Structure 1
Amino acid sequence: MENSIESRADAVEPVRSLHFLAALIAIAAVLLAAVLWHFAMLFLSIAPANALTTKYQKQINGYVYPEFAQYWQLFAPNPLQQKIMVETRLLTAGSDDKPRIGPWVNLTTRDDAAIRHNPLPSHTHQNMLRSAWNFYYRSHDGKSGKPIGTNGELSTEYLKRIGLQRLGAGTGGVRPVGIQLRVRFIPVPAPAWSKEGPEEKTRRVTLPWWQVDEADCRGL
């Protein structure tokens, strides 16, 4: 009789262990789902606007605010909405000292071509050109185009030197005496799910000719 009771107890023990293990797995699964849901909602609350956040914005805000409000953004708060194309050309003087105007050269297209299909691309030239133009744009009056303080003059020289370097000024026996730049602002179309207004038209800005001397080409 005692052997029968012991055998039954031995048979019940593995069943209890299985039930306990199943309960632990169920609890772990619920906790994991809750954690994934929590982090997914927090991520969507700080991510750039997309189709998912646009559709479920009310539900996301209802979960995140005010307990889990964040005041920083994981990505750029407002990515560039226009492509900036920088072109330049040289005014040169030959052996007869007659000025010659060269063709426009698209520096941005050159930079893009150097990156495209490159497994290990370098964005140095691309970022340098974009930063130089932004520096020039911020340090000049938007209406008159006049430089604002010393930064205006410095940004002009910086942009000039980049243009001369990219065009190989001072090499090949050609003497540059002037350089001119122009910029095209091409709007990037908004995605289909965006509620932004209609895109702006492409606009162009042509800067005046800048005089070039030997000091400008030194060290290029």
Structure 2
Amino acid sequence: MTRRAVLLVGAALLGLHFLLAAFSQSPYTPMKLRYYDKVSGYLDPYFAQNWMLFAPDPLADDRGILARAKCADGRVTEYYDVTSPYIHAAQGSRFFPSRMSRLVGSSLQSLYNSDPLLDRLRKSEKEKKKPVLPLMPYEKSSREDAVRFLSRYSMTQMPQACGGDPRSIQIRMYVRELPPWSRRDDPSAKDRISVQDYGWQKAGDLR
């Protein structure tokens, strides 16, 4: 293959990559709903697009993951904090943070984030006491992938659990909502913490 042919093939592949990335961020259409899972399978996790830096509603909470393990004898361990270590590691290396911090953060977002348009639609339906639109197939698969990734990551962060041989892993996501900035001087303003548990994942499927 000549050098020119190599350049043409490279340019075509690069163009296809940017086309798929743009498609993943385009408005929802029947075509996007049909092909989103395949496009997402190519982009995730290394090329996933995340525009939260430019979001009009910046994060105003503290969120993370706790995990516990089930042993061969049926014993269930206490919850381990598997979020704080990677946050401290990222903060300790400002110029060259680990790629893992982005992967964990993106997976946390994938657990409950959805398209703003669908969020508004579901909120409107809930306020009108109408049947709420169920999760789209791509939303379900995205959340299932996030649970599997976070379960696998959690298992690596607690090697001492069950003597190093856990049979199942369960993760719990916590969200600590901080008081709004407008109430920063109000001593009665309190944090609000909510948790959500996810199903047990077999350790053998995570290795």
Higher relative contact order (CA 8 A, sep 6+): 2
The normalised TM-score by structure 1 is 0.47
The normalised TM-score by structure 2 is 0.49
- Which one has the largest radius of gyration? 1
